[in-house]
Chain A
Amino acid sequence: MRRIGSTGSAHAGLMEWLLQRISSLYMGGFVIYLVFHFLVSPKPDYAAWTGWFADGVVRLAWALFILSVLVHAWIGLRSVYMDYLHPLWLRFSVSLLTAFGLLALGLWSAEILLMINL
């Protein structure tokens, strides 16, 4: 525990490093796609908006995007916590709160994507 307490984010795992890159590539690609999508259809009304979400591929793309955001947020915040939250109890509590918060956001998003009125 003392060693964990004294090392910074430089010693975080390779898996985290890789996940951070993979998620960033997916999010970057998805956001660029979104920008072009909304440039082509500048003024979406409710029908067009929900119609777009009726497409299963679009919903899957959104689900993967939200998953990437949550994974990316977890790894990123953890690095920040390791550098700036020094008392172990504080880092632990904030990490726990973050984990539950992100998990809740993921479940909420899943509910939205699954329950859309089509």
Chain B
Amino acid sequence: MEMDKNKKRPVYLNLFQIHLPVGGVMSILHRITGTVLVLLLPLAIYMLQRSLQDPAAFADIVARLGSPIGRSILLVVVWMFAQHFFSGVRHLLQDVGIGLEKTAARRGAWLTFIGSGLVVVVTGAYL
């Protein structure tokens, strides 16, 4: 009986129906970026393998990464990694009790967006 009651509790995880606060947006971005980064792992490992194979393969990888399309994809990946990295740092800081209070938590979430944006700008200028 108790189990049946429990099963009917509302599960409200539909992202298209809930209005997320900034921390929630950051949290779902953490999951999306993490998932996409995992999906890119085979490509990353393949590139590592090719780059170590022989000088021609190495030059090929460098050329592909340096092309306009390569640079654009690289910047998106850098953004995804930086966003995941900074929201991860925020997570770790909250584990040790830093930035748990509501305004601080919100400020932290905004900071992850600013941080990842800055990383993209700096990388874009450097590449």
Chain A interfacial positions (CB closer than 8 Å to B):
2, 6, 21, 24-25, 28, 31, 45-46, 49-50, 53, 66, 69, 73, 76-77, 79-80, 83-84, 105, 108-109, 112, 116-117
Contact = CB atoms under 8 A, between A and B. Distances in A.
Nearest to A80: B31
Interface string B69-88: 00000000000010001001
Contact of B52 (A6, A53, A84, A105): A53
A77 B41 contact: no
Contacts of B51: 49
B111 interface: no
Interface of B: 3, 6-7, 13, 31, 34-35, 38, 41-42, 45, 48-49, 51-55, 58-59, 81, 85, 88-89, 92, 95
8 contacts: A28-B85, A28-B88, A45-B58, A46-B55, A69-B41, A77-B38, A105-B41, A108-B49
Contacts of B48: 109, 112
Given A79-B31, A117-B53, 11 more contacts: A6-B7, A21-B95, A45-B58, A46-B59, A73-B34, A73-B41, A76-B31, A77-B35, A77-B38, A84-B13, A117-B54
